[in-house]
Amino acid sequence: MSASTPPGGDPAAPGFPAATAPRVATAAGLDGLDAAVSTCRACPRLVAWREEAARTKRKAYLDWDYWARPVPGFGPPDAALAVVGLAPAAHGGNRTGRVFTGDPSGDALFAALYDTGLASQPTATHSGDGMELYGVRITMPVHCAPPANRPTTAERDTCRPWLARELELLRPTLRTVLVLGGFAWQALLPVLAEAGWRLPRPRPAFGHGTEVRLTDTRLTDAGRRRRSAEDAAGGRGSGRRELRLVGGYHPSQRNMFTRTLTPDMLRDVLRRAAATAGLPRR
Ligand code: SF4
């Protein structure tokens, strides 16, 4: 492999194996989805990279058996708030098997979740560390660690059905999505549009603190009955549900080091997202 070849191989190179469709249709319930995503091998470059990272390891983790598989979302199945990141880190989630666990981004995120009353403890070190999230589920648009933390758009699109299914399963309770970074924002908007959430036009641009209100174009039976009652009473309610999107900078090492994102900013945006989701918070 030449020095300019991305680790894990160049997906644009002739002969590079094409991605296959992930088998999302078999996933029933969030537990089933988490189990199914963990077996996915749809992106050849990411499969190669996640397994290579587990073989070569980082010096500090030589005694670890890396997870080396897709990392599922983490948090209760009835979450009101989803936090959507980017992808697992090669020596973080790809090592521990839990999203944002065992890397500096996760250290910042879990500390902020704890400070705002949304997590049971301030640090996350491994999947058996006792961490609990309260009303929050953390997930990502790409479930495998990418070289240089940069998935390709093709890999993002290949992984999209997993995110779509996860949000569909969360839909009955989900009120707000906190989107960490522009990559996640771009990945999420088409998923939400396809799921029947009406997006403003032009599509809202990502920014830290950006807040967008989406309406559900698919009325539930309860919503239909409520709207009929409201119409009969001469009211103006639509009976439609809403979903809030809140944008926030990703707590990447770079963003935290350059103070593009500070711990105070991260806590504030989490508090705001939790408030719109109706979650108790500190
Ligand atoms: S990134 Fe997503 S679609 Fe690709 S192999 Fe991993 S889990 Fe499967």
**Phi, psi for residue 245 in degrees, rounded to 5:** -110, 130
CB distance 70 to ligand 1 below 6 Å: yes
pLDDT band of residue 281 (cuts 50, 70, 90) is confident
Q: What pLDDT, on the 0 to 100 scale, is given for residue 234?
A: 47
What would the two tokens of residue 261 be?
A: 């994102």
pTM for the structure as a whole: 0.88
Query: DSSP alpha helices (H): ranges in the chain?
Result: 29-37, 44-56, 93-96, 104-115, 153-170, 182-194, 221-232, 253-257, 263-276
Which of 23, 84, 143 gets mutated to test ligand 1 (max ligand atoms within 8 A of its CB)? Answer: 143
Q: 145: CA distance to ligand 1 center in Å? A: 9
Instruction: Yes or no: say if 210 and 247 are a contact pair by the CB < 8 Å rule.
Output: yes
How confident is the model at residue 241, as a pLDDT?
Answer: 83
pLDDT digits (tens, 9 = 90+) for 244-253: 999 999 999 9
Q: For 7-58, write each residue's pLDDT tens digit.
A: 456 666 656 666 666 777 666 799 999 999 999 999 999 999 999 999 999 9
Please tell me the distance from the alpha carbon of residue 38 to that of residue 68, in angstroms, as a whole number: 9
- Could you give the percent of the chain with pLDDT greater than 90? 79
- Residue 101's region, left for phi above 0, alpha for psi from -120 to 50, else beta, is beta
Any atom of ligand 1 within 6 Å of the Cβ of 41: yes
